[in-house]
Amino acid sequence: MEIIQQLVNGISLGSIYALIALGYTMVYGIVKLINFAHGDVFMIGSFIGFYSITFLHLGFFPALIISMVVCAILGVVIERIAYKPLRNATRIAALITAIGVSLLIEYGMIYLRGAQPEAYPINTLPSKSIHLLGITINSQSLFILGISIVLMIVLQFIVHKTKTGKAMRAVSHDAEAAKLMGISVDRTISATFAIGSALAGAAGVIFGTYYIKIEPLMGLIPGIKAFVAAVLGGIGIIPGAMVGGLLLGVIESLVSAFGYSLWRDGVAFVVLILILIFRPSGLFGKNFKEKV
C-alpha cells in the first residue's frame, strides 16, 4: 500500500516536471536551443504566485493565471533580447548565452529581494486525506495532477487545432519552407517561448503550493530534472516530455519508497546517462541518419 501511495506522489511530482519539460522540448523542437534559463522562469512563476496570494490576497487560480501571463511575457522578452540576435550563431554561443541568462535571473532576483526563502500559505489548496481501499491519498496530490492534465490537454489543443499550433509544427519541420509559405517564423518562435514559459510559471505556483518553501535558486534542480525528462521522452517531442516527466517523478518516488531518499536527486542523472547510452533519441524519438 505504501508503494501505491508513493506512486500517486510520484505522478503528482512528475506532472510538475512534465510542465517544465514541455517548455524545453517545444523550444528545442523549433530553434534547436536548450534554454537553460527555463528553470529560472519556473522560479519567477513561483514567486509571482506567492506574492499574488500573500500581498494581493488572491486565490490559487487567479494567482496561477497571473503567474502564467507574467512568465509568458518574460519568456518573450528573454527570446527577443538574448536569443533572437544569435539565431544564426553557433549552438555553443546560444548555449553559453542561455546559461548567462539563467545566472542573471537568479542573482537579479537575489539582488532585488535577498536570498532568504519564503513559504506559501499552507491553506492555499484544500488538504484532506482521502481513504480508498486502505490507501491514504492527499487531496492536494490529486488536485495538482488534475490541473497539470488540464494544462497538457490545452497545450495539445493549441498545437493541433489552432493556427499558431500549425505554424509551430510547420516551423519545427522546416523553418525555411514555412517562411516561404508566408508563416512569420519570428512570431511563431515568440509564441513558442510564451507558451512554454507560461507552463513553467504554472508549474512554479503548483510546486510552491505543494512543497511550501521557495527561494531564488530553487529553479536549478527542477529545471535540470525537467531537461532530463525531456531527453528521456525524446527532446523536441511534446508527448515524450509529458511521459518523461511522469516517469521520472515515479522513479524518484519509488527510490524514496525503498529507503534510498538520499539518492533521489542523483537518480535523474543516472537515468540521463542510461538514456544517452542505450537510446539517445529518447523513448518517443527516432534515429535519423545524417549525411556528412
Q: Is the distance from CB of 64 to CB of 275 less than 8 angstroms?
A: no
CB atoms within 10 A of CB 140: 17
CA 184 distance to own-chain centroid = 25
pLDDT, position 35: 93
> Could you report the per-residue pLDDT of 268-288, keeping only the tens digit for each?
899 999 998 999 889 887 655
The rounded distance, in Å, linking the Cα atoms of 38 and 41 is 5
Q: Can you read off the three cell numbers belonging to residue 178?
A: 514555412
The rounded distance, in Å, linking the Cα atoms of 281 and 292 is 19
Task: Report which residue type is found at 144.
Answer: I
Tell which residue, 207, 219, 198, 99, has the closest CA to residue 151: 198
pLDDT by position in tens, the chain (length 292) = 677 778 888 999 999 999 999 999 999 999 889 999 999 999 999 999 999 999 999 999 999 999 999 999 999 999 999 999 998 888 899 999 999 999 999 999 999 999 999 999 988 887 787 777 667 777 888 889 899 999 999 999 999 999 999 999 999 999 999 999 999 999 999 999 999 999 999 999 999 999 999 999 999 999 999 999 999 999 889 999 999 999 999 999 989 888 888 888 889 899 999 998 999 889 887 655 544 4
The rounded distance, in Å, linking the Cα atoms of 45 and 68 is 7
Beta 135-138 vs 213-214: how paired, if at all? Answer: unpaired
pLDDT, position 292: 44
pLDDT, position 27: 94
Q: Can you read off the three cell numbers belonging to residue 71?
A: 512568465
pLDDT, position 111: 97
Is pTM beyond 0.85? Reply is yes
The rounded distance, in Å, linking the Cα atoms of 120 and 49 is 9
Task: Report which residue type is found at 121.
Answer: P
Structural domains in the chain, CATH included, are 2-278 (1.10.3470)
pLDDT, position 188: 96
- β-partners of residue 138 are 129
Q: What are the distances in angstroms from CA 92 to CA 34, 66, 242, 254, 269?
A: 10, 34, 27, 36, 22
Supply the DSSP string of the chain, one letter for each residue. -HHHHHHHHHHHHHHHHHHHHHHHHHHHHHH----TTHHHHHHHHHHHHHHHHHTS---HHHHHHHHHHHHHHHHHHHIIIIIGGGTTS-HHHHHHHHHHHHHHHHHHHHHHH-S--EE--TTSS---EEEETTEEEEHHHHHHHHHHHHHHHHHHHHHHHSHHHHHHHHHHH-HHHHHHTT--HHHHHHHHHHHHHHHHHHHHHHHHHHH-EE-TTTTHHHHHHHHHHHHHH-TT-HHHHHHHHHHHHHHHHHHHHTT-GGGHHHHHHHHHHHHHHH-TT-SS--------
Q: Is the distance from CB of 254 to CB of 10 less than 8 angstroms?
A: yes
pLDDT, position 286: 67
